[in-house]
A = this chain, B = another copy of it.
Amino acid sequence: MYDLVVIGSGVTGFGAAMYAARLDLSVAVIGDVDGGTITLTDDVANYPGFIQLTGKELADNLKAHALDYPVTIETGLVEDIFRDDQDFFYVITSNKTFLAKSVLFATGMKERELEVPGHDELRNKGVSYCALCDAPLFKDKTVAVVGGSDSAAKEALLLAKFCPKVYMIYRRKKIRPEPINGRRIENEPRIEIITETNVTEILGDSRVEGVKLDNPHNGSDTLELDAVFIAIGGIPFSDLAKKLGIETNEKGEIIIDRSSRTNVDGVFAAGDVVDTEFKQAITGVAEGVHAAYQAYNYVNEKEFAFICEENV
């Protein structure tokens, strides 16, 4: 029986576990990818306190911090979860069941990947999924955003602060940003929109050098670039949460309040799986820490209730 089971072993989960243990909660972290998606990133320069380190190093720091306390870390994938009529949670992996008084979903999300040749080889070598993280690395360079959503538009607008030339490459006839961002793009001469065009290959040897297009642009089916930012949507890992009746938004993200509480008592969520537009390591970790504190409050008030019943 754990006071708190954290589902997800990314930086958010580790930060939450460390704090929960400091609050004297018994806590287990269950995850299949040790360190989470940030470990795919070579260059993290935006976690305040560390000027520059790799995603793996940041995750290792957070994990070591958690393990400085009595935290159980279990490698595995949670396959099922339910709640019994005494409000205990059963968190089930392929070979174990964890009994928990409270649960934190720090399950993260998966970017929808651009499945073209060159993508995997050049990922983090000019192929990026986060302008907010990586834009400063490409100052004064030529870049492209693949995608036409409002998120893609905002990536392009941010990149235009740093880069003299930003292409937006979109498969449909018209990009579909929110009106305000559409107007900002119209007023931004650094952004050029290429519609009805797909990227069919990412070109480059050790770094991105360009992309191949299925619809020639200015007479050429290749475009020279220093970086490609992919913004074709993400998939939050919230299916398990939905099984517990947790409310999600239209993107499938778990809805939380300022204290990382979901609509279900005893269930908290934090990090990339939640309904914030602004998904950064530092904010995910802080949400996790907030959740740990709320779990502490929840577990103690519940325990008090049990004692009360015994006394009556």
Chain A residues packing against B (C-beta within 8 Å):
11, 14-15, 18-19, 22-24, 45-51, 58, 61-62, 64-65, 68, 132, 135-136, 157-158, 161-162, 180, 183-184, 187, 257-259, 276, 278, 280, 282-283, 285-287, 289-290, 293, 300-301, 304, 307-308
Contacts and interface: CB of A to CB of B under 8 A. Distances in A.
A161 B289 contact: no
B161 A23 contact: yes
A15 B136 contact: no
Contacts of A61: 49-50
A71 to B, nearest CB: 12
Contacts of A286: 282-283, 285-287
A15 B280 CA distance: 13
Given A11-B48, A22-B46, A290 B300 contact: no
B49 A62 contact: yes
A48 B308 contact: no
Interface secondary structure of A, over-half rule: helix
A280 B49 CA distance: 15
9 contacts: A15-B48, A18-B46, A22-B136, A24-B161, A49-B58, A132-B293, A187-B308, A283-B290, A285-B286
Contact of A282 (B258, B289, B307): B289
Nearest to A50: B49
B49 A304 contact: no
A180 B276 CA distance: 32
Nearest to A19: B46
A46 to B, nearest CB: 6
Nearest to A289: B282
B183 A308 contact: yes
Given A47-B49, A49-B62, 19 more contacts: A11-B48, A15-B48, A18-B46, A18-B48, A22-B132, A24-B158, A24-B162, A49-B61, A51-B64, A132-B293, A184-B300, A184-B301, A184-B304, A187-B307, A187-B308, A258-B258, A259-B276, A282-B285, A285-B286
Nearest to A18: B48
